[in-house]
Amino acid sequence: MREEQGAIYTGRCSGCGIQLQSEHKDKPGYIPAQAMEKEIVICQRCFRIKNYNESSSITVEQDEFLRLLSQVGNKEALVIHIVDIFDFQGSIISGLQRFIGNNPVLLAVNKIDLLPKVTNWNKVRNWVQKEAKEAGLKVEDIILCSAKQSSGFDRLLDAITASRGKRDVYVVGATNVGKSTLINRLIRDYSDLDQELTVSRYPGTTLDMVHIPLDDGHSIIDTPGIMYPSRYSEIVSPEDLGALLPDKPLKPAVYQLNEGQTLFFGSFGRFDFIQGERQSFTCFVSGRAPIHRTKLEKADELFAEHGGELLSPPHRDSLDKLPDWTRHEFRIPKGRRMDVFISGLGWIKINSEAGSVVAAHAPKGIKVLVRPSLI
Protein backbone atom coordinates (compact mmCIF):
# COMPACT_ATOMS: atom_id res chain seq x y z
CA MET A 1 0.00 0.00 0.00
CA ARG A 2 1.36 3.47 -0.73
CA GLU A 3 0.12 6.76 0.60
CA GLU A 4 -0.64 9.24 -2.15
CA GLN A 5 -1.83 12.82 -1.70
CA GLY A 6 -3.52 11.88 1.56
CA ALA A 7 -5.48 8.97 0.09
CA ILE A 8 -4.66 5.33 0.69
CA TYR A 9 -3.63 3.74 -2.59
CA THR A 10 -4.58 0.07 -2.59
CA GLY A 11 -4.39 -0.77 -6.27
CA ARG A 12 -8.11 -1.37 -6.21
CA CYS A 13 -11.02 0.54 -7.68
CA SER A 14 -12.70 2.61 -4.97
CA GLY A 15 -16.08 2.18 -6.70
CA CYS A 16 -16.35 -1.59 -7.19
CA GLY A 17 -13.30 -3.11 -5.46
CA ILE A 18 -11.71 -4.68 -8.55
CA GLN A 19 -7.90 -4.96 -8.86
CA LEU A 20 -6.76 -2.16 -11.19
CA GLN A 21 -4.63 -2.72 -14.31
CA SER A 22 -3.56 -0.61 -17.32
CA GLU A 23 -2.78 -3.34 -19.83
CA HIS A 24 -6.03 -4.84 -21.11
CA LYS A 25 -8.79 -2.43 -22.07
CA ASP A 26 -11.46 -5.11 -22.28
CA LYS A 27 -10.61 -6.81 -18.98
CA PRO A 28 -11.96 -5.93 -15.52
CA GLY A 29 -10.19 -3.18 -13.62
CA TYR A 30 -8.81 -1.32 -16.64
CA ILE A 31 -7.74 2.26 -16.14
CA PRO A 32 -5.51 4.38 -18.42
CA ALA A 33 -2.06 4.68 -16.81
CA GLN A 34 -2.25 8.50 -16.43
CA ALA A 35 -5.54 8.23 -14.47
CA MET A 36 -3.78 6.14 -11.80
CA GLU A 37 -2.27 9.39 -10.52
CA LYS A 38 -5.62 10.69 -9.24
CA GLU A 39 -6.41 10.85 -5.57
CA ILE A 40 -9.47 8.60 -5.71
CA VAL A 41 -9.14 6.03 -8.46
CA ILE A 42 -12.02 4.29 -10.17
CA CYS A 43 -11.84 1.82 -13.04
CA GLN A 44 -13.10 2.65 -16.51
CA ARG A 45 -16.17 0.47 -16.05
CA CYS A 46 -17.21 2.39 -12.90
CA PHE A 47 -16.51 5.66 -14.72
CA ARG A 48 -18.89 4.62 -17.51
CA ILE A 49 -21.58 3.38 -15.12
CA LYS A 50 -21.40 6.61 -13.13
CA ASN A 51 -21.29 8.99 -16.07
CA TYR A 52 -23.23 7.25 -18.80
CA ASN A 53 -25.47 4.94 -16.80
CA GLU A 54 -24.08 2.03 -18.78
CA SER A 55 -24.80 -1.58 -18.02
CA SER A 56 -21.82 -3.88 -17.84
CA SER A 57 -21.35 -7.46 -18.84
CA ILE A 58 -18.55 -8.06 -16.35
CA THR A 59 -19.84 -10.02 -13.38
CA VAL A 60 -18.55 -12.08 -10.50
CA GLU A 61 -18.83 -15.84 -10.73
CA GLN A 62 -21.22 -17.30 -8.17
CA ASP A 63 -18.45 -19.51 -6.76
CA GLU A 64 -16.25 -16.50 -6.29
CA PHE A 65 -18.97 -14.78 -4.31
CA LEU A 66 -19.49 -17.80 -2.08
CA ARG A 67 -15.73 -17.95 -1.53
CA LEU A 68 -15.72 -14.28 -0.49
CA LEU A 69 -18.73 -14.78 1.76
CA SER A 70 -17.31 -17.81 3.51
CA GLN A 71 -14.23 -15.77 4.51
CA VAL A 72 -16.55 -13.87 6.84
CA GLY A 73 -17.06 -17.05 8.87
CA ASN A 74 -13.37 -17.01 9.90
CA LYS A 75 -13.48 -13.44 11.15
CA GLU A 76 -14.96 -11.53 14.04
CA ALA A 77 -17.55 -9.56 12.14
CA LEU A 78 -20.95 -7.96 12.29
CA VAL A 79 -22.96 -8.91 9.23
CA ILE A 80 -25.60 -6.65 7.78
CA HIS A 81 -27.76 -8.74 5.49
CA ILE A 82 -29.70 -6.45 3.16
CA VAL A 83 -32.85 -7.69 1.47
CA ASP A 84 -35.14 -5.91 -0.97
CA ILE A 85 -38.72 -5.59 0.27
CA PHE A 86 -39.98 -5.71 -3.32
CA ASP A 87 -38.31 -9.09 -3.84
CA PHE A 88 -38.13 -10.44 -0.30
CA GLN A 89 -38.17 -14.18 -0.95
CA GLY A 90 -35.96 -13.66 -3.99
CA SER A 91 -33.25 -11.74 -2.17
CA ILE A 92 -33.02 -13.44 1.21
CA ILE A 93 -29.94 -15.68 1.62
CA SER A 94 -31.49 -18.68 3.31
CA GLY A 95 -28.19 -20.49 3.94
CA LEU A 96 -26.45 -17.37 5.28
CA GLN A 97 -25.53 -18.85 8.67
CA ARG A 98 -23.56 -21.62 6.99
CA PHE A 99 -21.15 -19.08 5.55
CA ILE A 100 -20.79 -16.58 8.31
CA GLY A 101 -20.50 -18.85 11.32
CA ASN A 102 -21.59 -17.48 14.67
CA ASN A 103 -21.22 -13.83 13.75
CA PRO A 104 -24.23 -11.66 14.62
CA VAL A 105 -26.55 -10.60 11.80
CA LEU A 106 -28.68 -7.50 11.37
CA LEU A 107 -31.40 -7.83 8.77
CA ALA A 108 -31.84 -4.53 6.91
CA VAL A 109 -34.99 -4.58 4.79
CA ASN A 110 -34.30 -1.96 2.14
CA LYS A 111 -36.38 -0.04 -0.43
CA ILE A 112 -39.35 0.42 1.87
CA ASP A 113 -40.04 3.65 -0.04
CA LEU A 114 -41.51 1.33 -2.70
CA LEU A 115 -44.37 0.20 -0.49
CA PRO A 116 -47.56 2.27 -0.69
CA LYS A 117 -47.60 5.40 1.49
CA VAL A 118 -50.36 3.99 3.69
CA THR A 119 -48.55 0.94 5.00
CA ASN A 120 -48.85 -0.52 8.46
CA TRP A 121 -45.13 -0.73 9.34
CA ASN A 122 -45.67 -2.78 12.50
CA LYS A 123 -47.42 -5.38 10.45
CA VAL A 124 -44.59 -5.36 7.90
CA ARG A 125 -42.02 -5.84 10.68
CA ASN A 126 -43.91 -8.80 12.14
CA TRP A 127 -44.26 -10.27 8.68
CA VAL A 128 -40.52 -9.91 8.04
CA GLN A 129 -39.75 -11.54 11.38
CA LYS A 130 -41.88 -14.58 10.56
CA GLU A 131 -40.57 -14.93 7.02
CA ALA A 132 -36.94 -14.58 8.15
CA LYS A 133 -37.50 -17.31 10.73
CA GLU A 134 -39.08 -19.49 8.09
CA ALA A 135 -35.98 -19.01 5.91
CA GLY A 136 -33.83 -20.25 8.80
CA LEU A 137 -32.22 -16.88 9.56
CA LYS A 138 -31.23 -15.98 13.12
CA VAL A 139 -31.05 -12.20 13.40
CA GLU A 140 -30.20 -9.77 16.21
CA ASP A 141 -32.51 -7.12 14.90
CA ILE A 142 -34.66 -6.18 11.93
CA ILE A 143 -34.45 -2.67 10.49
CA LEU A 144 -36.81 -1.37 7.83
CA CYS A 145 -35.02 1.25 5.78
CA SER A 146 -34.71 3.12 2.53
CA ALA A 147 -31.21 3.89 1.35
CA LYS A 148 -32.73 6.10 -1.31
CA GLN A 149 -34.53 8.30 1.18
CA SER A 150 -32.19 7.80 4.14
CA SER A 151 -35.05 6.56 6.28
CA GLY A 152 -34.51 4.09 9.09
CA PHE A 153 -30.85 5.09 9.40
CA ASP A 154 -30.96 6.25 13.00
CA ARG A 155 -32.27 2.84 14.00
CA LEU A 156 -29.74 1.14 11.76
CA LEU A 157 -26.84 3.02 13.35
CA ASP A 158 -28.13 2.28 16.85
CA ALA A 159 -28.35 -1.40 15.96
CA ILE A 160 -24.82 -1.38 14.50
CA THR A 161 -23.44 0.32 17.61
CA ALA A 162 -25.25 -2.15 19.88
CA SER A 163 -23.97 -5.26 18.08
CA ARG A 164 -20.59 -4.31 16.62
CA GLY A 165 -18.24 -4.19 19.59
CA LYS A 166 -14.77 -4.05 18.01
CA ARG A 167 -15.61 -5.73 14.76
CA ASP A 168 -15.58 -5.05 11.05
CA VAL A 169 -19.01 -4.67 9.44
CA TYR A 170 -19.72 -6.76 6.33
CA VAL A 171 -22.66 -5.69 4.18
CA VAL A 172 -23.94 -8.72 2.26
CA GLY A 173 -26.93 -9.56 0.12
CA ALA A 174 -28.21 -10.54 -3.30
CA THR A 175 -27.34 -8.29 -6.25
CA ASN A 176 -29.16 -5.00 -6.61
CA VAL A 177 -30.69 -4.85 -3.13
CA GLY A 178 -28.95 -1.53 -2.42
CA LYS A 179 -25.83 -2.49 -0.46
CA SER A 180 -23.58 0.12 -2.07
CA THR A 181 -26.29 2.81 -2.03
CA LEU A 182 -26.78 2.24 1.69
CA ILE A 183 -23.07 2.44 2.47
CA ASN A 184 -22.78 5.61 0.35
CA ARG A 185 -25.50 7.15 2.52
CA LEU A 186 -23.61 6.23 5.65
CA ILE A 187 -20.39 7.71 4.20
CA ARG A 188 -22.08 10.90 3.09
CA ASP A 189 -24.22 11.55 6.16
CA TYR A 190 -21.96 10.25 8.91
CA SER A 191 -18.33 10.70 7.82
CA ASP A 192 -15.88 13.10 6.14
CA LEU A 193 -14.73 10.58 3.51
CA ASP A 194 -14.88 11.43 -0.19
CA GLN A 195 -15.19 7.88 -1.42
CA GLU A 196 -18.27 6.97 -3.44
CA LEU A 197 -19.15 3.39 -4.26
CA THR A 198 -20.50 2.66 -7.70
CA VAL A 199 -24.23 1.90 -7.83
CA SER A 200 -26.47 1.10 -10.78
CA ARG A 201 -29.87 -0.29 -11.56
CA TYR A 202 -28.18 -3.31 -13.17
CA PRO A 203 -27.33 -6.30 -10.98
CA GLY A 204 -23.66 -7.17 -10.49
CA THR A 205 -22.20 -3.69 -10.02
CA THR A 206 -19.79 -4.31 -7.14
CA LEU A 207 -17.08 -6.78 -8.19
CA ASP A 208 -14.99 -7.37 -5.06
CA MET A 209 -14.82 -6.40 -1.38
CA VAL A 210 -14.42 -2.66 -0.80
CA HIS A 211 -13.08 -1.61 2.63
CA ILE A 212 -14.18 1.75 3.99
CA PRO A 213 -12.31 2.80 7.13
CA LEU A 214 -14.15 3.51 10.40
CA ASP A 215 -12.75 5.76 13.12
CA ASP A 216 -11.53 2.91 15.34
CA GLY A 217 -9.30 1.21 12.77
CA HIS A 218 -12.02 -1.19 11.69
CA SER A 219 -13.87 -1.09 8.39
CA ILE A 220 -17.27 -1.31 6.83
CA ILE A 221 -17.03 -3.64 3.85
CA ASP A 222 -19.13 -3.58 0.71
CA THR A 223 -19.38 -6.95 -1.04
CA PRO A 224 -20.48 -8.10 -4.49
CA GLY A 225 -24.09 -9.27 -4.58
CA ILE A 226 -24.95 -12.93 -4.78
CA MET A 227 -26.63 -13.81 -8.08
CA TYR A 228 -29.81 -15.83 -7.99
CA PRO A 229 -31.07 -16.88 -11.43
CA SER A 230 -34.46 -17.45 -9.73
CA ARG A 231 -34.98 -13.67 -9.64
CA TYR A 232 -36.55 -12.11 -12.69
CA SER A 233 -34.24 -9.10 -12.47
CA GLU A 234 -31.24 -11.40 -13.05
CA ILE A 235 -32.50 -12.86 -16.32
CA VAL A 236 -34.14 -10.00 -18.25
CA SER A 237 -32.19 -7.90 -20.70
CA PRO A 238 -30.88 -4.55 -19.39
CA GLU A 239 -33.46 -2.69 -21.56
CA ASP A 240 -36.36 -4.44 -19.82
CA LEU A 241 -35.05 -4.03 -16.32
CA GLY A 242 -36.42 -0.49 -16.11
CA ALA A 243 -39.96 -1.72 -16.75
CA LEU A 244 -39.66 -4.53 -14.24
CA LEU A 245 -38.23 -2.64 -11.28
CA PRO A 246 -40.44 0.02 -9.73
CA ASP A 247 -38.84 3.39 -9.08
CA LYS A 248 -41.79 4.96 -7.26
CA PRO A 249 -44.12 3.70 -4.53
CA LEU A 250 -46.26 0.82 -5.82
CA LYS A 251 -49.77 1.79 -6.75
CA PRO A 252 -51.83 -1.32 -6.06
CA ALA A 253 -54.06 -2.12 -9.06
CA VAL A 254 -57.32 -3.78 -8.00
CA TYR A 255 -59.13 -6.14 -10.38
CA GLN A 256 -62.55 -7.69 -9.72
CA LEU A 257 -62.36 -11.00 -11.54
CA ASN A 258 -64.78 -13.80 -12.30
CA GLU A 259 -63.45 -17.31 -12.45
CA GLY A 260 -62.06 -18.04 -15.88
CA GLN A 261 -60.28 -14.69 -16.23
CA THR A 262 -56.59 -13.99 -16.75
CA LEU A 263 -54.26 -11.05 -16.22
CA PHE A 264 -51.09 -10.54 -18.25
CA PHE A 265 -48.28 -8.34 -16.94
CA GLY A 266 -46.85 -7.20 -20.25
CA SER A 267 -45.19 -10.41 -21.37
CA PHE A 268 -43.40 -10.80 -18.06
CA GLY A 269 -45.94 -13.16 -16.55
CA ARG A 270 -49.55 -14.18 -16.23
CA PHE A 271 -52.09 -14.82 -13.48
CA ASP A 272 -55.18 -17.05 -13.91
CA PHE A 273 -58.25 -17.10 -11.69
CA ILE A 274 -59.31 -20.69 -12.23
CA GLN A 275 -61.97 -21.36 -9.67
CA GLY A 276 -63.90 -19.44 -7.00
CA GLU A 277 -66.52 -16.74 -6.46
CA ARG A 278 -66.08 -13.31 -8.00
CA GLN A 279 -63.48 -11.54 -5.90
CA SER A 280 -60.85 -8.83 -5.94
CA PHE A 281 -57.18 -9.32 -6.74
CA THR A 282 -54.69 -6.58 -5.93
CA CYS A 283 -51.59 -6.40 -8.12
CA PHE A 284 -48.36 -4.96 -6.72
CA VAL A 285 -46.21 -4.69 -9.84
CA SER A 286 -44.21 -1.92 -11.45
CA GLY A 287 -46.46 0.65 -13.14
CA ARG A 288 -44.47 0.13 -16.33
CA ALA A 289 -45.52 -3.51 -16.73
CA PRO A 290 -48.99 -2.89 -18.20
CA ILE A 291 -51.79 -5.20 -17.06
CA HIS A 292 -54.04 -6.75 -19.69
CA ARG A 293 -57.22 -8.63 -18.75
CA THR A 294 -58.59 -11.45 -20.89
CA LYS A 295 -60.49 -14.73 -20.78
CA LEU A 296 -58.57 -17.72 -19.49
CA GLU A 297 -59.71 -19.84 -22.44
CA LYS A 298 -58.21 -17.28 -24.86
CA ALA A 299 -55.01 -16.60 -22.93
CA ASP A 300 -52.68 -19.13 -24.58
CA GLU A 301 -53.71 -17.99 -28.02
CA LEU A 302 -53.36 -14.32 -27.12
CA PHE A 303 -49.84 -14.89 -25.82
CA ALA A 304 -48.82 -16.96 -28.85
CA GLU A 305 -50.03 -14.25 -31.23
CA HIS A 306 -49.30 -11.05 -29.33
CA GLY A 307 -46.60 -11.87 -26.74
CA GLY A 308 -43.81 -9.30 -27.10
CA GLU A 309 -46.06 -7.01 -29.19
CA LEU A 310 -49.50 -6.05 -27.85
CA LEU A 311 -48.35 -7.70 -24.65
CA SER A 312 -45.05 -5.93 -23.88
CA PRO A 313 -42.50 -5.23 -22.48
CA PRO A 314 -40.48 -7.35 -22.91
CA HIS A 315 -40.47 -6.96 -26.67
CA ARG A 316 -40.25 -9.88 -29.06
CA ASP A 317 -36.43 -10.10 -29.26
CA SER A 318 -35.94 -10.10 -25.52
CA LEU A 319 -38.89 -12.41 -24.96
CA ASP A 320 -37.40 -14.99 -27.32
CA LYS A 321 -34.27 -15.09 -25.18
CA LEU A 322 -36.18 -15.91 -21.98
CA PRO A 323 -37.01 -19.51 -20.99
CA ASP A 324 -40.54 -20.78 -21.73
CA TRP A 325 -43.09 -20.29 -19.00
CA THR A 326 -43.85 -22.73 -16.21
CA ARG A 327 -47.34 -22.85 -14.70
CA HIS A 328 -47.67 -22.88 -10.91
CA GLU A 329 -51.10 -23.68 -9.48
CA PHE A 330 -52.17 -22.74 -5.96
CA ARG A 331 -55.23 -23.50 -3.86
CA ILE A 332 -55.97 -20.58 -1.54
CA PRO A 333 -57.84 -21.78 1.57
CA LYS A 334 -61.09 -20.18 2.71
CA GLY A 335 -60.74 -16.94 4.68
CA ARG A 336 -56.99 -16.53 4.05
CA ARG A 337 -55.11 -13.48 2.81
CA MET A 338 -52.29 -14.66 0.60
CA ASP A 339 -49.90 -13.24 -1.98
CA VAL A 340 -48.93 -15.07 -5.12
CA PHE A 341 -45.32 -13.89 -5.38
CA ILE A 342 -43.25 -13.88 -8.59
CA SER A 343 -39.63 -13.04 -7.73
CA GLY A 344 -38.67 -9.69 -9.27
CA LEU A 345 -42.04 -9.03 -10.86
CA GLY A 346 -44.08 -8.40 -7.72
CA TRP A 347 -47.13 -10.08 -6.20
CA ILE A 348 -50.90 -10.46 -6.42
CA LYS A 349 -52.80 -10.23 -3.16
CA ILE A 350 -55.78 -12.54 -2.79
CA ASN A 351 -58.40 -12.00 -0.16
CA SER A 352 -60.22 -15.26 -0.44
CA GLU A 353 -63.38 -15.43 1.65
CA ALA A 354 -64.70 -18.54 -0.05
CA GLY A 355 -61.42 -20.11 -1.18
CA SER A 356 -60.05 -20.14 -4.71
CA VAL A 357 -57.77 -21.85 -7.18
CA VAL A 358 -55.31 -19.68 -9.10
CA ALA A 359 -52.22 -20.14 -11.26
CA ALA A 360 -49.20 -18.02 -12.09
CA HIS A 361 -47.02 -18.36 -15.18
CA ALA A 362 -43.42 -17.15 -15.34
CA PRO A 363 -40.23 -18.17 -17.15
CA LYS A 364 -38.90 -21.55 -16.04
CA GLY A 365 -36.61 -21.21 -13.02
CA ILE A 366 -38.16 -18.02 -11.66
CA LYS A 367 -39.21 -18.40 -8.03
CA VAL A 368 -43.00 -18.38 -7.73
CA LEU A 369 -44.66 -19.08 -4.42
CA VAL A 370 -47.62 -18.31 -2.22
CA ARG A 371 -47.06 -16.52 1.09
CA PRO A 372 -49.12 -14.77 3.78
CA SER A 373 -49.98 -11.25 2.59
CA LEU A 374 -47.29 -8.66 3.16
CA ILE A 375 -49.75 -5.78 3.21
Ligand X SMILES: Nc1nc2c(ncn2[C@@H]2O[C@H](COP(=O)(O)OP(=O)(O)OP(=O)(O)O)[C@@H](O)[C@H]2O)c(=O)[nH]1
Segment holding 118, helix H or strand E: none
Q: Rule CB under 6 A: say whether 235 interacts with ligand X.
A: no
Q: CB-wise, 208 or 272, nearer to Mg ion?
A: 208
Q: 107-132 burial by CB neighbour count: b if 16+ within 10 A, else e?
A: bbbbbbbbbeeebeeeebeebbeebb
Minimal distance, residue 75 CB to Mg ion, in Å: 20
Question: Among 204, 307, 346, 363, which residue sits at the site for ligand X (rule: CB under 6 A)?
Answer: 204
For every residue of 177-204, DSSP letters joined together read SSHHHHHHHHHHHH----------SSS-
Instruction: Select from 2-10, 170-178, 322-330, 363-371 the region that touches ligand X (CB under 6 A).
Output: 170-178
Tell me the per-residue interface mask from 152 to 191 with Mg ion, x by CB under 5 A, - otherwise: ---------------------------xx-----------
Q: Is 209 helix (H, G, I), strand (E, B) or coil?
A: coil
Q: Which of 12, 8, 17, 2 is nearest to 198 (CA)?
A: 17
Determine, following the binding rule CB under 6 A, whether residue 176 of this chain makes contact with ligand X.
Answer: yes
Q: Which of 41, 44, 14 is nearest to 29 (CA)?
A: 44
Asked whether position 179 contacts ligand X by CB under 6 A, the answer is yes
254: left (phi over 0), alpha (psi -120 to 50) or beta: beta
Identify what 211 binds: ligand X, Mg ion, none; CB under 5 to 8 Å per kind. none
User: Using CB under 6 A, which of 114, 243, 250, 338 touches ligand X?
Assistant: 114
Pairing between β-strand 168-173 and β-strand 141-144 as defined by DSSP bridges:
unpaired
CA 197 to chain centre: 17
For the CB of residue 199, give the shortest distance to Mg ion in the complex, in Å: 6
Which of 201, 306, 328, 371 is in the footprint of ligand X by CB under 6 A?
201
Q: Contact between 181 and ligand X (CB under 6 A)?
A: yes
Q: Which is nearer to ligand X, 14 or 146 (CB)?
A: 146
Residue 110 near ligand X by CB under 6 A: yes
Q: Is 91 a binder of ligand X (CB under 6 A)?
A: no
**Residue 29 binding ligand X, by CB under 6 A:** no
> Is position 177 an interface residue for ligand X (rule: CB under 6 A)?
yes
Residue 147 near ligand X by CB under 6 A: yes
Provide the H-helix boundaries in the chain: 44-52, 62-71, 88-91, 96-100, 121-134, 153-164, 179-190, 232-235, 238-244, 296-306, 316-321
Taking 3-state DSSP, the helix, strand and coil percentages for the chain, each rounded to the nearest 5, stand at 30, 30, 40
Residue 180 sits in the site that holds ligand X (CB under 6 A): yes
Phi, psi of 36 (to 5 degrees): -60, -20
Interface residue with ligand X among 15, 29, 178, 276 (CB under 6 A) is 178
Closer by beta carbon to ligand X, 167 or else 179: 179
Interface residue list for ligand X (CB under 6 A): 110-111, 113-114, 146-148, 173, 175-181, 199-201, 203-206, 224-225
